[in-house]
């Protein structure tokens, strides 16, 4: 297993999408139905900046079983810092790859998050697209009693995949607080439940190939602007780190 790569004090696994999916599939092929849950964090620049502000988020990422670079900014920054990552691994693409495996392997999958209507739409669509999978789920607007019922459902179902779409860092903190559950692998999937339901459209492939999915989402949802302000701060910090690294190179000041 390759050593993790550090980007602004957050550590990432240097894996491709195919390698990440293969690693998770391997875990689930050998899963005995018992806890603890293995946690996958999909970290973009915004999550990196959250981890720098909040020690709880940093600790969750540190303890995660797999941390993938869900953002081209992370990949670029890693290159600047001399510790390259092979490619961006979008949480959306990873979850889709794993759902394809779920169909082949008859996995159980539990969705947690989004509105009741969006969750219902997502489950209907996923049942159509991925036959052979046993589905369960609960919306993200739950109180203490609702959470107790969620935990009871997960304990009864013992899902192979637990896909939590409550936004970062809430989803990652929730998973970390419930790793005692009998689930195989838990992944924070952000807004994918809304995408599966058709409530939100994912960026067209041409935008994704140009690494401009963030801009497409911002154009569609201007309310995301305050969150997107983390991007220039991330870029400036990464550039400053890269400059310091370059100036410290042996022989840099020799004539």
* CATH number of 134's domain: 3.40.50.2300
Q: 51 lies in a domain?
A: no
Q: 59 lies in a domain?
A: no
pTM above 0.85, yes or no: yes
Q: 139 lies in a domain?
A: yes
Enclosing domain of residue 193: 104-198
Q: Which residues, other chains included, contact 123 with Cβ-Cβ below 8 Å and sequence gap of 6+? A: 111, 135, 137
Q: 24 lies in a domain?
A: no
**Count of domains forming the chain:** 1
User: Tens digits of per-residue pLDDT, 17-71?
Assistant: 999 999 999 999 999 999 999 999 999 999 999 999 999 999 999 999 999 999 9
The H or E element that residue 138 is part of is strand 134-138
Q: Where are the alpha helices (DSSP H) in the chain?
A: 17-29, 45-53, 55-63, 72-80, 91-105, 116-129, 144-157, 170-177, 192-197, 205-209, 213-220, 225-228, 230-247
Q: Which residue has the higher pLDDT, 153 or 249?
A: 153
% residues pLDDT > 90 (the chain): 81
User: Tens digits of per-residue pLDDT, 60-111?
Assistant: 999 999 999 999 999 999 999 999 999 999 999 999 999 999 999 999 999 9
Q: 172 lies in a domain?
A: yes
Q: 50 lies in a domain?
A: no
Q: 146 lies in a domain?
A: yes
Q: 228 lies in a domain?
A: no
Dmax (CA) of the chain: 70
């Amino acid at each position: 297993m390759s050593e993790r790569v550090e980007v602004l004090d957050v550590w990432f696994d240097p894996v491709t999408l195919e390698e990440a999916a293969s690693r998770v599939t391997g875990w689930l092929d050998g899963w005995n139905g018992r806890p603890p849950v293995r946690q996958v964090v999909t970290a973009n620049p915004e999550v990196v900046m959250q981890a720098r502000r909040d020690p709880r988020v940093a600790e969750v990422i540190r303890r995660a079983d797999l941390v993938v670079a869900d953002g081209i900014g992370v990949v670029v920054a890693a290159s600047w810092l001399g510790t390259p990552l092979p490619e961006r691994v979008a949480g959306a693409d990873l979850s889709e790859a794993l759902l394809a495996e779920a169909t082949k392997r008859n996995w159980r999958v539990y969705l947690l998050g989004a509105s009741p209507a969006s969750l219902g739409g997502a489950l209907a669509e996923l049942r159509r697209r991925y036959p052979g999978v046993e589905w369960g789920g609960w919306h993200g607007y739950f109180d203490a009693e609702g959470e107790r019922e969620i935990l009871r459902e997960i304990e009864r179902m013992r899902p192979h995949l637990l896909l939590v779409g409550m936004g970062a860092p809430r989803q990652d903190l929730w998973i970390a607080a419930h790793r005692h559950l009998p689930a195989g692998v838990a992944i924070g999937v952000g807004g994918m439940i809304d995408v599966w339901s058709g409530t939100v459209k994912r960026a067209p492939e041409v935008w994704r190939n140009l690494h401009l999915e963030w801009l497409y989402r911002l154009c569609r949802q201007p309310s995301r602007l305050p969150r997107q302000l983390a991007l220039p701060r991330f870029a400036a910090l990464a550039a400053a780190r890269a400059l310091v690294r370059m100036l410290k190179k042996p022989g840099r000041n020799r004539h």
